[in-house]
Amino acid sequence: MNRQLRCIQCDNVYPLDDRRLRCSCGGLLDVHLDLEQHASSAELVSEFARRTSSDAPCDQSGVWRFRELVLDLPANELVTFPEGRTNLYALDPAPFGLSALWAKHEGENPTGSFKDRGMTVAVSWALHRSARALICASTGNTSAALAAYGARAHLPVFVLIPNGKIALGKLSQALAYGARTMQIDGDFDDAMRAVEQLAASHDLTLVNSLNPFRLEGQKTIILDCFMQLGASLPDWIVVPGGNLGNTSAFGKALIEMKALGLLSTVPRLAVIQAEGAAPFARAAERAFSHLEPIHPETIATAIRIGNPVNYSKAVRSITFTHGVVTTVTDAQILIAKHELDRQAIGCEPASAATLAGLRRLTSEGIIGRGQSALLILTGSLLKDPETTMALASGHVANLGIALSPELDACANPPRLVPSDAETIFDIIREELS
């Protein structure tokens, strides 16, 4: 398919290889596909399915397997692990009154988060365009993914992270993979402003989700789920909201899939934000008349963002899907995380916002009885071991969260015992009784 860069605000069009990040009007850019030049929907589905049994690296990738709808690059130019080979887990829908419930675990990607899907496309395109160096702002997951893909591409990587409030599991990946990491005296939004200026002024390739190629990779989460569910999608797709890259990518995927005839009905998106980091939810209450940036605060560091750069694309997604935006508290996030962890599909706190949000939306009747839903789990449990340990040890007060009976019930601390087999067995017998 032919591709161009197109402004979502004024429809200005630029060549695909234009290095700009925004339109001259200031609007965000899309990678625009000419959907009139495509195979039939049946042919696309058949080809996507055929590739799952192929040994070619591009077909093994859960991103490049869908290349007709992503980006056309020679196979030998792809920077891939491969990524996107993530599982879809069936959960019990009965407690929510649903007909079916699934969780798509993007924490099973090579660096432990959904960011790998976008990064394989952004870095492959950057390598194709002979990039000099790669740069990003990050709360953790983006830096881990960029450091890994930059290392595979043999390109220098520079990362700006906020001062504090970054999980060590994520930071350790960026450092281990060789990224030049700089901790700024500000938050993520300050770092984002700095990297956008640096990219515009100094020939550095920005790979945050402001880069439209990132979102082309992230929209394959929806394509992957579509194939795993037998060429169908549920009534609702529930996703955490931070910088709103996934919200934007999912809406773009659904717009394109509907235009291609892959979908007869479009799922509704439900975006879940942490109560202390909810500028998109506040804007939704004002019918998206305007966005007011905030100073965010939440234990869910992956969505601790107060001025999301993808706001206008996310509004398009909510509008097209007749979606909703809501908030949950940090305590509700931790309780939901505990529930997912106990099913051995553990996740970082931001991911658990989806389950907490589903509980709120079903209790309010917004997601109706008998409907089906899909939760997007964005990152691995090991991304934020400090929070996991605080929850398991009963020390959530150290996270600034008041202890409650529900949180107290989540505790599972290690127990100090004598190194005597019979004494240990007495303890085990007591636990089993």
pLDDT in tens, 357-397: 999 999 999 999 999 999 999 999 999 999 999 999 999 99
How many Å apart are CA 327 and CA 294, to the nearest integer? 15
| DSSP state letter for 266 | P
* Tokens 């591709």 belong to residue: 3
How many Å apart are CA 242 and CA 219, to the nearest integer? 16
| DSSP state letter for 398 | G
How many Å apart are CA 224 and CA 169, to the nearest integer? 27
Residue 36 predicted with pLDDT over 90 = no
Instruction: Kindly state the average pLDDT of the residues 14-19.
Output: 95
- Model's pTM, two decimal places? 0.95
What pLDDT score was predicted for residue 53? 95
What percent of the chain shows pLDDT beyond 90? 93
Q: Where do the structural domains in the chain lie, given as residue ranges?
A: 88-112+215-408
Residue 317 predicted with pLDDT over 90 = yes
* Contact indicator for 301, 292 with CB cutoff of 8 Å: no
Instruction: Kindly state the average pLDDT of the residues 181-202.
Output: 92
Q: Please list, in sequence order, all residues whose beta carbon lies within 8 angstroms of the beta carbon of residue 389, skipping any fewer than 6 positions away.
A: 395
Burial class of 244 by CB neighbour count within 10 A (0 to 12, 13 to 18, 19+):
buried
Q: Which residues pair with 376 in a beta bridge?
A: 104
Burial class of 76 by CB neighbour count within 10 A (0 to 12, 13 to 18, 19+):
exposed
How many Å apart are CA 350 and CA 364, to the nearest integer? 22
- Residue-wise pLDDT for 269-303, tens only, equals 999 999 999 999 999 999 999 999 999 999 999 99
Residue 1 predicted with pLDDT over 90 = no
88-112+215-408: CATH class: alpha beta
What pLDDT score was predicted for residue 349? 97
Residue 168 predicted with pLDDT over 90 = no
- Report DSSP letters for 198-243, one per residue: HHHHHT-EE-STTSHHHHHHHTHHHHHHHHHTTS---SEEEEE-SS
What pLDDT score was predicted for residue 139? 84
Amino acid at site 281: A
Cα dist. 195→158, 160, 210, 424, 429 in Å?
10, 8, 11, 55, 58
What pLDDT score was predicted for residue 344? 95
What pLDDT score was predicted for residue 167? 77
Q: Which of 364, 300, 354, 299 is nearest to 89 (CA)?
A: 354
- Residue-wise pLDDT for 49-98, tens only, equals 999 999 999 999 999 999 999 999 999 999 999 999 999 999 999 999 99
What pLDDT score was predicted for residue 165? 67
* Tokens 């909201």 belong to residue: 241
Average pLDDT, the chain: 95
Residue 178 predicted with pLDDT over 70 = yes
